[in-house]
Amino acid sequence: MDVLIHIFVGLHIIGIAALLGGFLTQMKAMGQGAARFTPAMLHGALTMLVTGAALIGLNQAQDTAVDNVKMGVKLALLIVILGLVYVKRDDEKVEKPLFGLVGLLTVVNIFIAVLWT
């Protein structure tokens, strides 16, 4: 079971790479109001949702306590991220504040994951 959990943490991190990488590569375009949500960002956000849910299930299956408040906060932030990226996925240009919010919430979720113990 431990191996399976580690595999899903790895997939969770691949999801972060796609979501945050998509954001970071477009910071210059964002400054000009010309950034867009790429398919990698949408798929990364969906990967976070699926692997995060799987990690909760796997941890509970082996009786490891999961902090429900921490998970609720992470899920709430991801729903905002996913909603924005999904609704605006076909827009050729996304306004700077909206694009910046997705990057900010992703970084906040990373620090919630590693600092909230």
Interface ranges with ligand HEM (CB under 6 A)? 9, 12, 16, 48-49, 52-53, 55-56, 59, 66, 71, 74-75, 78, 81, 106, 109-110, 113-114
User: Which residue number has the CB closest to ligand HEM?
Assistant: 52
Provide the minimum distance between the beta carbon of 51 and ligand HEM in the complex, in angstroms, as a whole number.
7
Provide the minimum distance between the beta carbon of 20 and ligand HEM in the complex, in angstroms, as a whole number.
7
Provide the minimum distance between the beta carbon of 112 and ligand HEM in the complex, in angstroms, as a whole number.
8
Helix orientation angle between 2-24 and 39-61, rounded to the nearest 10 degrees = 160
Dist CA 34 CA 31 (whole Å) = 8
Count of Cβ atoms closer than 10 Å to residue 56 Cβ: 15
Question: Token digits for 45?
Answer: 């956000």
Nearer to ligand HEM, 27 or 33 (CB): 27
DSSP state of 93: S
Nearer to ligand HEM, 42 or 48 (CB): 48
Nearer to ligand HEM, 49 or 101 (CB): 49
CB 66 within 8 A of CB 59: yes
Dist CA 78 CA 113 (whole Å) = 12
